[in-house]
Structure 1
Amino acid sequence: MSHPTSQSSIRTELPEPEPSPGVDPEVVGRRYRILDLLGRGGAGTVWRAQDGLSGPVALKRLHKTVADLARRPGKGTPSAFATQGMALSLAHEFQTLVSLRHAHVIRVLDYGFDDEGRPYLAMDLLEDARTLVEAGSDAPLTTQVALLVQTLQALAYLHRRGIIHRDLKPGNVLVVRGQVKVLDFGLAVGRDQGRRAQPAGTPGYLAPELFEDQPPSEQTDLFGFGAMACQMFFGRLPHGGQVFATPGFPPALKALLEQLVAPEAHRRPRDAQAAIAALCAATGQPLPAESAATRDSFLQSARFVGRVREREHLMDVLDRALAGQGSAWLIGGESGVGKSRLLEEMRAQALVRGAVVVRGQAVDTGGVPYQEWRAVLRWLPMLTELSDREARILKPLVPDMEALLGRAVPIAPELDAEMAQLRLHQTVEDVFGRLPQPTVVILEDVHQAHSESLQLLARLAARASGLPLLLLASFRDDEAPLLPEWVPGTRTLRLPRLDAEEIALLGESMLGPVGRRPDVLELLRRETEGNPFFLVEVVRALAEDAGGLDQLGDRLGGRALPERVWAGGMRALVQRRLEKVPRGARGLLDVAALLGRELDVAVLQRAAPGVDVEAWLTDCAAAAVLDVVDDRWRFAHDKLRERLLEDLPPESRPALHRRAAEALEAAHPRGHAAALSYHWGQAQDAAREALHARRAGEEALEVGACREALPLLARALASTPGATALEKGRVEALLAEARFQLGDLEAFRGHAEAALAHFGWPMPKTRVAWVLGTLWQALSRLAQSARPDAHVDDSARRREVRRVAGRLLMRLTDAFIYAQEAMPVLWSGLRMLNLCEPAGPSPELARGYTVMAVVAGTVPVRRVADAWVRRAREVAESVGRPVDLAYVLNRNAVCAVYQAHWEDVEAWLQRATSIVDSVGDLRLAEECRALLTVALCYQGQFARGLPLMDWLEASAVRRGAVQTQHWAMHYRAHILLRLGEHARARVALEPALAWTEAHGGATDRIIVDGTLALLCLREGDAAGARAAAEKALVRLSAGKPVAHFVYFGATAVAEVLLTLWARETPGPGLQALSHSARVALKALEDFARVFPFGEPSAWLWRGCEAWLSGRPRKAFRAWQRCITEATKRRMPYEAARARLEWARHLPANAPERAELLRRAVEDFTRLDAREDLACAMAEQGLGTTAEGRAE
């Protein structure tokens, strides 16, 4: 469209100004950057523009706004209703233009309305184009006739689509490399709108009847065509129906031209097809056979019919989404039933209503992680402003992010696979949540999608109800009947085959009235059983036999219908269509079929360097085997591709796959590893298959697609039977990582053991071997610590292997800790340090030291733990990634909690939280806040923990971490209980009870049952308190304490049982209760020996036990010791409780009693421990005043 349109026009709108130099180019529709002026017409201006998603385009923008177009002559500003009605009318027209696909009609790529309300169209940019008159004036007659025939073929197509151009003139019919392109539909109008249209167009090319209030028609366009033909032949326009032919001009051709420009419309040819026939007859040239491309254009131009129920339902869903009540729908049905056609209709309807529509396509083989979402996510920089952090996170899936944003985008901080996936999903969710206009996402063939893509769909589906977001995904329900269960939050709409009435509607839309003839309908029903794809193929076959669609109606009217359209049924019909592809084009078509439904033109050019791929695409499109959707070439239907693949001889497949792989490597040196692995495997090249399978598995892990990584890595392992042990170990290590991230710890251990064995560092197998191995690792640690220089590994390759093994051992240590296997924990942790230390500082070494510091702290070996804490931080500060440093700071804070070093705890956690919030590691962010809350509770700062638990629960709910949600609930309940808010504590605890009983670990159950027991005690339910405490005590006394946060349960159980003992009257139940209380106290004392911060509480309840056992002096000494230890460790709640218990058991006239109570009241007031404050004030003898203050 580089040729300026003519400025002669009966319209007089003011054109828009050219861009000013030095001013940033205007951006239209959030994606089109205005560059150069191409031309101006009466209705609009055409610009060269840069599409942010593809490349150069021609952008036509009308001069008038929608409101201007809606204004009636002599009237004021139109109403909002009238303006909206005009916008919808224009959008419907543009929708038709976007759907046009013909060899001689310009492609309209997109449309919309700019910020000022001016309509615009984006079209192909035609470089080096000439007008029809310029191209044909000095050409031979045969060339002139060919150009005119092409123009008429374009008009025939437009008229068949119900479109009258109304502004045919040389500037709107361009020629590029001998091919006509009809363009500029600024005045195009449908037949049904013709009677409302006002006369418009360019003088000299307008039919006379338009000035007589006659509606535009096919004949008005033929008049404009005839005028152009006269100008091309004679250099001047006709006048009054007369043409000014030069001497020697063919008389028959002159007569036809006079018919075309006749003042009376009825004298002109009845339609464009008749004009083609007359033109060929007048010039002695053969009548061009209706091409498959033209016929297919007619077949595909059939208006969307049928599916009334489904369409109305989805229209209602769309309207709700536009109003901010979005949803997600799976469109299911068999192949060929019309899923894509329905989605295309919904796409058009959404565009009409002002929504943004983006689409993605799944592939059956060789897809990259998030294949379906990549084209969708590429739109996001166009639709909203992305922060630097968001751009970094999305960049792996949008490789050209820097080009789209026009700024540098660094790589996002590396995270573990699970957190990388979660960070990506939440980022996508956040961006979609703030898009400024309604958005429709269409995903096709998601039955071929991998789990990570379906998880992202499910996350967006869960958010859609509160957003102007509609998610539509098609799938073959016969191939994936359980898909709706895999994508929670979606609803399903299934498409059955067409019923008899729908078959009649579709037949009529393709064939005209003959399509409703009973015998035609019976044939279509019998041959297709209501499958729309088959129905189109049957009509195609009938049209070919009849010599064209125009002759089909006459033929069907004149003879009986065949019993069968084609022997062999639908399979043969599909084969018949493929046979229309020129023989020389079939080889490349086979390669294209292997590569997938969507075509990569760059790869095809590499696969066939001697082939004109553009011409090849045209040939295949002419046979209706290929088409274009969203400016991307693809097979017109997957059944065509499937048939090509079925017909490939087995002996030729390896060579074709090799050709595909080599072309893919040449076109895309980086990426496409999964596809390359598949093709090299089919080419029987095991080494290259394994190489690319491993790379693809690594790429999948990098974006958190762990489940997709598994088959790729398994293929890499199976494809290299002759690989070295080191190579096998690397792949086993990747498989172990994937399994660990998926939570499959049994399979993880199997792969980890195999990897370590391949590396030459096998794991122990027997109990004796574990003991001896642990002893040996301890001795090795001492030796390395004594002489570190003597154990340095100088081989770079071995150092890398040591780090890989170290990461495996770190994961194994976590797994053994979770399984509470003490000896394997020590072995794996020490082995990790001994392997990583000789390789030099590394993130794995930093993590290893901090994990083992936590373990050493529970042995407890304090000096070793402290040394490893320092070493972990030193290494992490020097070589670790930000997330590694955050991990080390978090685990070091755990060690600091053991010793009640609260300044270190808070400083390290604040720094770690800042890091993980910036890099997006949500799990570690949750752990940091949970640990800070726990540490605050240990210090009696209960109220500070409540907002942290609100954040923790919200984060866990968002990422679907059910266990973490319940942690937040029971920690919140404990806090509220200490604050004296029993009712709120009950509300917080109730949801956690059933889940913890069914799914919680031993530690979780101790904490929840202990908190329940204390809550029941405070509520006055002694029986409930006793039952819950006894239940927790069974688990509490079963083994050595391994988790510091069991403190909540241990202290609660001791308090409940000792309090109930104090209230119990002498009798048979007293002995059992006192025994349970002493067992609980012993468990708390055992806890304090491992975790020193527990000592104040142990002394507190030891004093209560001593008093109840009749040893008052020992009780007073214990409470004194509690105060001393609590003061030293800055744990004021325990100190205040000890003062209260001491004062309660002193005589009323004891001199120290008042001071003890004063200090207790002071501390409880500061800590906002209301119930304890009420008790202390009651002891002071303040009665009701104390009660009032406690509330």
Structure 2
Amino acid sequence: MFVGRDGELTALTEALARAAAGEPQALLVGGEAGVGKTRLIEELISVACRDGAVVAVGGCVEIGGDGLPFAPFSAALRGLRRLLPEEIAAAADGQEGELARILPELGPSAGDALGEHGTASLFELTVRLLERVAAGRTVVLILEDLHWADASTRHLLAYLFRTLRRGRLLVITTYRTDDIHRRHPLRPLLAELDRLRTVSRIELSRFSRAEVRRQLHGILGDEPAPQLVDEIFGRSDGNAFFVEELAVAIESGCRSGLTDSLRDLLLVRVETLPENAQRVARIVAEGGATVEFPLLLAVAQLSEDDLIDALRAAVGANILLPVDGDGYRFRHSLVREAISDDLLPGERSRLNRRLAEALEADPSLVRGDESTTRLAGYWYHAHDAAKALPVVLLASVEARRRYAHAEQLRLLERAMELWDAAPDDVRACLRPPDDTEVYPPTAEGASAPLHYLDLLAEATVAARSGGERERALALSKKAMRVLESVDDPLRAAWFWTQRSRLVQDLTRGDGWDELATAQDLVRGLPPSAVHASVLSDVASWGALHRPGPNSLAAADRAVEYARLVGAEHIELNARATRGWLATESGSIEEGLAEMYAVRDRVFELGNLGTLGILGRISINLPSTLESVGRSEEAVAAAELGITLCHQRGLSDKEAWVRVNLSESLFSLGRWDESRAAIDEAAQVAHAPKARALVAVRRALLALARGDAAEAASQVTLARAVFGPHDPQPQHVIAPARLAMVSAARQGRLAEARAEFEQVAAQGFPPGMQRYALPLLCSAAAMEADARGLPEADAGRETILAIVRDHAKRLPVVVPIWRAYDLLLEAELARADGIVAPKLWARAVAAFEALPRPYELAEARHRWAADLLAESADRDQVTALLMQAHTTAKRLGARHLVEETELLAGRARISLSTTPRLAPAPGPEVDAVSSLGLTPREQDVLRRVAEGLSNRQIAEELYISPKTASVHVSNILAKLGVSGRTEAAAMTHRLHLFTDLEPTHT
């Protein structure tokens, strides 16, 4: 009988209905052990199955702390594959090798990837698999006992809840509230999930007396006596599982001898079993959450008939349940815990040894993907260091290959614990894995035995990749203490580079001192992979902090050394840095060609080891293109980068690419699309610096649209993340400009000047023109706008002198930099009180040749002002003002709209009619381009003509439905039609896309 829980069941069924309607749902169901979580879920499963949903269940496993990585997801996906083999095969098509890390039945795993990039890819592919399977049917995914979840499972679950956006999917997890103590690792995850509006939490309370009475009626088959209800309610305190155990104990005649001890209560039913059944129960308690029949037969020392009889007795008493064809597990985990706790220390060791010996003799006794991990746990708990150390190391390698870095770290720390206890001859036979991602053996050669430092190195990388950077830093420091007595400069240099990355990640510094130490250690040594990696890191650091010839030279040497030792991964990374630095130093075509070549090579290789470089080049290439004014090319590069990052599961890198896309769209005057891109970036921006860059882009857009207060607020958010610990020029100059302009527009001139003086005092390294020139232009404009204010005269000359001093040092070798230089010259004249329409005419001409509508509109407005001051031709002034006003209104640039209208009002010029301007001759364009559609709008229009909805368009183009809606609105406006149907009809009528089949719309 299902008792109570009406409100909770209603909440679950309503979530099921919303999921069935296409709105993914996530729920956390908590309650103390035995309160009835599983029974509630069973009731929901019945409802879901009646409604035609597909249900998959997976449970977290506690095997003495040796939980299998991704165990609940593996079990649930295995169940889905059993129910929907064709759908799973179609959803996993092309990604079987990666997804096999979680679902081994898909085939052999793909090769190794590097650290956290591989983890992110696996997580994204898993989410996409679930979304695809749930696209056409309702899927209920249930993950039980989250309090036992391994760290990898917790990370994947958090990723799923944060990124799940589509599909008819309901995800439910259960956990014990009484196990979540203050330091429990699940507590931070629960706090994070509570902040997500897409996640709901249900807490189950204990039963009331009336509900206990109803439960007893169901158990006993008759109305219980009031005295019995009072006794059981008082002793169980309303815990549903304890009610059942007490009822069974009393019914079997154990009323008088039953103690109040929880463990004794749980063991009462077990102690009534035959001796063989109790022996089997003890083996299952130590063997894992589910123990296979063949393994039980090998360990129990019973004949097959006797084992079956013992199992039948345990199943008949509701102690064990048969699962997965040939396995058995406890009906309730509390009983398993009680039996395990009741074992004597020597008894536990003996049981684990027998389990280990049986599994070692025949690994086929358990599922293949669990064999090594379970064997490692058995030998470890058998307290046999000689046997445990090798298999624990093998299990750590398997965990790394599955991207279960937290479990890899735990196993490596266990190996370090076993290291000294293991005999010398055992340690001498150990070798580093061939596919290790850390340094190769450096002094002894490829056949060198495993060193304790190798364990520390692997553990450092595992901790960093698993997000435990504090632990990684502690491990690297421990390694440095070991290296004090070892003469091994290459290993030492490797650890110093790790420390450099970690202190930057942890905002403890800029990482240069650590890199400089590593560079000193490898100086003068023969070329090696470590040497090349150090130089590559030095060049990358320099590109961010000190761009210039020294950083470029380091990149050159890194490429050379990497080629000498055949380390293509390091070579590609260094080439990407070299292309970036070369472009910003003025070698535009050569630098960009190298970056494109790196991207093409990474795409050609297509292996997981280059994921990090793929993410990096997807970020740096559009950013570099934008820096030299190639905004349209930058948009194309960013859109391809987003597609690649999305396909490879690099959501953390995707956030940075979308930030860059937003910047280029802003430059092109596509501000609504820019805002949509930054909103999408915010959804996947989990790293602090990515969130800070989102804030900077929002500040830029807010300032341009006239909201100085919002801009200042966003700058404050960004600066709180960037802080003073790692002063990268790009993270200093851009926020300073925004803060300066915000303060000036709000009348705080002294504060604005202080912002400028502070950032200008730090200087502008080579390649910083994209940030420095707009800053200098804004500073000059600020002083020009302040002319005539009583408090402005005192400091003006100082500011203008600083502007001129820096301006003459900045090379302007590309058109965009030259345009800003001309704009700066005109603003300086305005700040000096000089009317110079010719200077503004030059600036306008420069920006007319570039896709920079906002800067062009500002320059036209200033040119019109100077022409009015000279009483020039009013027709020309009118045309300039109307052009500037039209652009400003289209963009939503409120500040520029107001300035333009104010100037027109003073000059008695009407802006209500469109000036008649002769069209400029140009090359012939095709039918689609003649409509003024951007390449992305053309992609969207094609899909509108195919009859796709906004959501379907978003899925195909890897954008959000909101962005798709913005594109569709822009298209309708440009085509002059009222709706999608008219747009599709016009597309087919005009044959805009010749390869489209006619369709009914």
State the TM-score, normalized to the length of structure 1. Answer: 0.58
For 1:561-613, what per-residue CA distance to the aligned partner results, in whole angstroms no more than 9, with x for missing partners? x6x23368554454443344443455554332222232334544554697426
Contact 1:900-1:1092 at 8 Å conserved across structures: yes
Q: Which residue pairs with 2:283 in the alignment? A: 591
Please tell me the residue identity of whatever aligns with 2:176: R
> Which residue does the alignment assign to 2:377?
678
Rounded to whole Å, the distance in 1 between the matches of 2:698 and 2:455 is: 44
Residues 783 and 831 of structure 2 are in contact (CA less than 8 Å); yes or no, is this contact kept in structure 1? no
Q: 1:952 to 1:706 in 2, by over 3 A?
A: farther
Q: What pairs with 1:395-410 in structure 2 (closer than 5 Å)?
A: none
Decide which of 600, 606, 609 is 2:292's aligned counterpart: 600
Where in structure 2 are the equivalents of 1:430-829 lying within 5 Å? 430-431=131-132, 434-437=135-138, 439-458=139-158, 470-481=170-181, 483=187, 484-488=190-194, 489=196, 490-513=199-222, 516-525=224-233, 528-545=236-253, 564-566=256-258, 571-584=263-276, 586-605=278-297, 607=299, 611-612=303-304, 614=308, 616-628=310-322, 633-664=328-359, 666-667=363-364, 668-686=367-385, 689-694=388-393, 696-697=395-396, 700=399, 705-721=404-420, 727-741=451-465, 748=472, 760-763=490-493, 802=529
Question: What is the alpha-carbon distance in structure 1 between the residues aligned to residue 844 and residue 520 of structure 2?
Answer: 41
SS in structure 1 opposite 2:778? helix
Which secondary structure state, in structure 1, belongs to the residue aligned with residue 321 of structure 2? Answer: strand
Which of 992, 999, 1004 is the matching residue for 2:721? 999
Q: Find the residue that maps to 1:332 and give its secondary structure.
A: strand
Q: Pick closer, same or farther for the CA change 1:963–1:599 going to 2, 3 Å.
A: same
Cα distance in 1, alignment partners of residues 149 and 322 from structure 2: 22
Q: How does 1:946-985 map to 2 (within 5 A)?
A: 946-947=672-673, 949-958=675-684, 960=686, 964=690, 967-968=693-694, 970-971=696-697, 974=700, 981-982=705-706
Counterpart selection for 2:760 from 1037, 1046, 1050? 1037
Please say if residues 852 and 865 of structure 1, whose CA atoms lie closer than 8 Å, have aligned partners that are also in contact: yes
Based on CA coordinates, which of the two structures has the bigger radius of gyration? Answer: 1
Partner of 2:798: 1075
> What SS is found at the alignment partner of 1:617?
helix
SS, match of residue 49 in structure 2: helix
Deviation of 1:907 (Å): 6.5
Contact 1:843–1:876 (CA under 8 A) maintained in structure 2:
no
Paired residue type of 1:995:
L
Q: 1:1150 to 1:374 in 2, by over 3 A?
A: same
| Residue 1184 of structure 1 pairs with residue 892 of structure 2 | no
- 1:427 matched residue in structure 2: 128
SS of the aligned residue for 1:924 comes to: helix
Pair 1:994–1:593, CA change in 2 (3 A): same
Q: Does residue 927 of structure 2 align to residue 927 of structure 1?
A: no
1:368 aligns with 2:72: no
TM-superposed CA distance for 1:627, in Å, is 1.5
Aligned CA distance change for structure 1 residues 424 and 1190 (closer, same or farther; 3 Å): farther
* Distance in 2 between residues matched to 1:695 and 1:818, nearest whole Å: 39
Residue 49 of structure 2 is aligned to residue 351 of structure 1: yes
In 2, Cα distance between equivalents of 1:824 and 1:753? 29
**Secondary structure at the counterpart of residue 760 of structure 1:** helix
Q: Is contact 1:728–1:755 with CA below 8 Å preserved after alignment?
A: no
Deviation at 1:431, TM superposition (A): 3.7
Distance 1:1091 1:693 in 2: 58
Cα 1:376/1:1147, change in 2 over 3 Å: closer
Secondary structure, aligned partner of 1:624: coil
Greater shift in the superposed pair: 829-838 or 637-646: 829-838
Secondary structure at the aligned position of 2:788 is classed as coil
Does the Cα contact within 8 Å between 1:1006 and 1:1046 map onto a contact in 2?
A: no
- Are the equivalent residues in 2 in contact too, given 1:859–1:1090 (CA < 8 A)? no
Query: Which residue number in structure 2 is paired with residue 268 of structure 1?
Result: none
Distance 1:611-1:1064 versus aligned 2 partners, 3 A rule: farther
Answer whether contact 2:70 2:102 (CA < 8 A) is retained: no
Describe the superposition over 1:971-1010 as per-residue Cα deviations: whole angstroms up to 9, x where unpaired.
Answer: 36646866xx54xx67985773553353355655653563
For residues 819 and 1035 of structure 1, what CA distance do their matches in structure 2 show? 17
- Structure 2, unmatched stretches of 5+, are 421-426, 432-440, 442-449, 501-510, 917-1001
Q: SS state of the match for residue 942, structure 1?
A: coil
The one-letter amino acid paired with 1:843 is H
The one of 816, 836, 839 equivalent to 2:562 is 836
C-alpha distance in structure 1 between counterparts of 2:808 and 2:130, whole Å: 48
Moved more, 844-853 or 489-498: 489-498
Q: Which residue type is aligned with residue 286 of structure 2?
A: L
Q: Which whole-Å CA distance do the structure 2 matches of 1:518 and 1:1177 have between them? A: 87
Q: What amino acid does structure 2 have at the position aligned with 1:680?
A: W
Residue pair 1:949, 1:972 contacting (<8 A) in 2 also = yes
In structure 1, what is the Cα distance between the partners aligned to 2:523 and 2:845?
37
Match of 1:337 in 2: 35
Query: Residue 1023 of structure 1: CA displacement?
Result: 0.4
* Structure 2 residue identity aligned to 1:842: E
CA contact (8 A) 2:580 2:591 kept: yes
Counterpart contact for 1:588–1:608, Cα < 8 Å: yes
Give 1:1023's aligned residue: 747
Q: Does 2:629 correspond to 1:915?
A: no
| 2:577 aligned residue | 851
Q: Do the aligned partners of residues 624 and 380 (structure 1) sit closer, same or farther apart at CA in structure 2, a change above 3 Å counting?
A: closer
Quick one: structure 1 residues 1154 and 601, their matched pair in 2 at CA, closer, same or farther if it must change by over 3 Å?
farther
User: Is the contact made by 1:328 and 1:472 (CA closer than 8 Å) also made in structure 2?
Assistant: yes
**Whole-angstrom distance in 2 between the partners of 1:808 and 1:1183:** 66
**Distance change (3 Å), C-alpha of 1:972 and 1:304:** closer
Q: Distance in 1 between matches of 2:61 and 2:742?
A: 56
CA–CA distance in structure 1, aligned partners of residues 56 and 715 of structure 2: 44
Tell me the secondary structure at the aligned position of residue 419 of structure 2.
coil
CA contact (8 A) 1:324 1:466 kept: yes
Aligned residue in 1 for 2:960: none
| Cα 1:1123–1:387 shift into 2, 3 Å | farther
Q: Percent identity?
A: 20
Q: Which residue of 2 aligns with 1:85?
A: none
> Are 1:377 and 2:77 counterparts?
yes
Q: Which amino acid aligns with 1:436?
A: R
SS of 1:485 mapped into structure 2: helix
Tell me the SS of whatever aligns to 1:1184: coil
- TM-score normalised according to structure 2 size: 0.68
Identify the structure with bigger relative contact order (alpha carbons < 8 Å, sequence gap 6+): 2
Runs (5+) with no aligned partner, structure 1: 1-302, 547-561, 781-790, 794-801
Paired with 1:931 and 1:315, the residues of 2 have a C-alpha distance of 42
Structure 1 pair 647–893 and aligned structure 2 pair: CA distance change class (3 A) = same
Question: In the alignment, residue 720 of structure 2 is paired with which amino acid?
Answer: A
Q: For 1:1121-1140, what aligned pairs fall within 5 Å after superposition?
A: none
- Indicate if the aligned counterparts of 2:815 and 2:846 stay in contact, CA closer than 8 A: no
Corresponding residue number in structure 1 for 2:787: 1064
Query: How far 1:1070 moved relative to its partner?
Result: 0.9
Displacement of 1:449 in angstroms is: 1.3
Give secondary structure in 1 for the equivalent of 2:737: helix
Q: How many Å apart are 1:347 and its aligned residue?
A: 2.7
Aligned equivalents of 1:617, 1:653: Cα separation in 2: 21
Q: What is the deviation of 1:398? A: 5.8
- C-alpha displacement at 1:675, in angstroms? 3.4
Helix, strand or coil for the counterpart of 2:179?
A: coil
